[in-house]
Every structure is written in structure tokens, then in C-alpha cells.
Homo-oligomer: A and B are copies of this chain.
Amino acid sequence: MESRRERLRAETAAEIKRIALKHIAAAGPASVSLRAIARDMGMTAGAIYSYYDTRDDLITALINDVYTGLVQTLEAARDSKQADDGRGRLLAWALAYRKWAIANPEEFRLLYGDPAPGYRIPEGGAAAEAERRACAGITGLVAAAWPREVSGTYRWSDFEPDFVALVRAQFPDLPPAAIALTLRVWGRMHGLVALEVYGHLRSQIHDGAKIFEAEMLDMADELGL
């Protein structure tokens, strides 16, 4: 029931994002400028305002798209392994995370660095939704390794209520300590990748794949997977 006009409109909105992403990939998140995008599209800068109210709105849309894409990639990698292969699923997720980051460093910076000068991430946006989904994915991977022993004792009140509600709905049997472990696993996956993408391993090592894989293998061992 969508008119020709609506279709064209949606296509233009999508092309704006496509060009913006091209700029990000080429020169980093800071290079997203409405004028530059318009120039590339053969349009006037003002025209973009029919599609996005504000530059920040566009950035938000980009973050949503990129984050959703990343999560889909991770889920697909995980699901390429048998459901009962907890170890394989965890490793597939982790390696896909690094692979995506190395292949899309600027997009990684968009999500996990400073998205753009002066930009503030909106509180309840769709990026937060994608982040929740990623987090739930890791929780599922950790759940496969449960029960087990970890450092520290936790209560549900250690976590944000909204997040607790979400987790408990999806994983009714997991204790708070498992959530703590989920976040730790996430951090452990993230650390080497962030260092590598931001160039901090460059003067030590040419390729971070090997130590990242070793780290993830040992992590899987320690999780008992």
C-alpha cells in the first residue's frame, strides 16, 4: 500500500545512510557531515532535513543499523554451530566479533568509541536495543556453561532493574553471578579487539588473531566449555 512517492522517499533515506557509512568507513565517524553527504548525492545540504531532523538523528540511525548488523553477524556465526556445542558457539561468536571489528574498524569506532564530536547517545534508542540483544546472546553462551564457580557473590540489586527483568524473562534459572560472568566474558572479548583496532598493539605485534584466539580458547576452558 505504499505509493511511488513513499518508495522513493525510503530509497533516498537509505542512500543517505549508505553514503554516510561510506564516509565513516573511509575517514572515520568524525567525517560524517550533512554537507559532504549531500555533495556526494548531488543534492543540497538542506534537502537532507526532509529525511533527518538533525545531524544527530542521522548518526543515531547509523549506529542502530551498524549495531544491528553486527549483532546479526554474531548470531549467525554462533548459530552455524550445533545447539549442543557450547564451546563451538562461544568461540564462533568471539571470533566473529574480532573479524567484524578488523574488517570494519571505523564502524567499530562508531559503536564503541566516540561516535562523533559532540554526539550524545540517546537513552532508550534502538542502539540500546541492539546492545541488549548482544548482551543476551552472550548470556545464552554463558548459560550453557552454568552452573560453575566464579569469584564474588552477587545479588540482583547489583544490576539495573530493566536489565534484570529482561534476563530473568529469558533465562529464568540463571543466578545473578551468571550475569556478572556474562559481562566479564563480554569485557574479555572486547579488550584485545579494542586495543588492536585503536592501534595499541601495532608496535608489538603484526596480527592480533593468534593471541586473541588463544585468549578465547583459554576462556572457554576456564568456563568449562
Contacts and interface: CB of A to CB of B under 8 A. Distances in A.
A6 to B, nearest CB: 34
Contact of A210 (B118, B131, B158): B158
Q: Chain A interface secondary structure, helix, strand, loop or mixed?
A: helix
A168 to B, nearest CB: 13
A109 B213 CA distance: 26
Given A28-B114, A210-B152, A215 B188 contact: yes
Interface stretch (A7-15, A52-60, A79-87, A194-202): A194-202
A145 interface: no
A17 interface: no
A135 interface: yes
Contacts of A212: 187
A201 B200 CA distance: 23
A41 interface: no
Given A132-B203, A198-B112, A203-B131, A152 B213 contact: yes
Given A131-B203, A151-B217, A186-B195, 11 more contacts: A30-B117, A112-B200, A113-B114, A152-B213, A160-B203, A160-B204, A160-B206, A162-B203, A179-B204, A187-B191, A191-B192
